[in-house]
């Protein structure tokens, strides 16, 4: 939900970023602050989820699932965490 909201309401932060890059002032918009707070929350939730995932066992995939699919699902799951965290960190860095 937070990721979808970040995408839907990205116009305010995009406009502010464009103004900063060319050296113009920009009007404060509550959506800018909402975007920044939302990104911080996403990062906090990703870190929290990774910590929980490392501390607790997860359910095993079905025995009849092919090995390649097991590996692919594992890699995809962790890649999703990496992408979410990277987007939040680069947004905060900008």
pLDDT for 34-85, tens place per residue?
999 999 999 999 999 999 999 998 888 888 989 999 999 999 999 999 999 9
Expressed in percent and rounded to 5, the helix, strand and coil fractions of the chain are: 75, 0, 25
**How high is the pLDDT of residue 94?**
82
Residue 26 pLDDT greater than 90, yes or no: no
pLDDT for position 49: 95
- Averaged pLDDT for residues 16-44: 91
Q: What is the mean pLDDT of residues 14-38?
A: 90
- Token reading at 17: 């970023």
DSSP code, position 94? -
What pLDDT, on a 0 to 100 scale, did the predictor assign at position 80?
96
């Amino acid at each position: 939900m937070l990721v979808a909201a970040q995408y839907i309401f990205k116009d305010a932060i995009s406009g502010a970023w464009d103004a900063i890059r060319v050296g113009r002032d920009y009007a404060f918009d509550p959506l800018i602050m909402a975007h920044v707070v939302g990104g911080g929350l996403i990062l906090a939730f990703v870190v929290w989820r990774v910590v929980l995932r490392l501390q607790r066992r997860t359910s095993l995939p079905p025995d009849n699932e092919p090995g390649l699919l097991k590996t692919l699902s594992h890699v995809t799951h962790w890649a999703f965490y990496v992408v979410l965290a990277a987007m939040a960190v680069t947004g905060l860095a900008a």
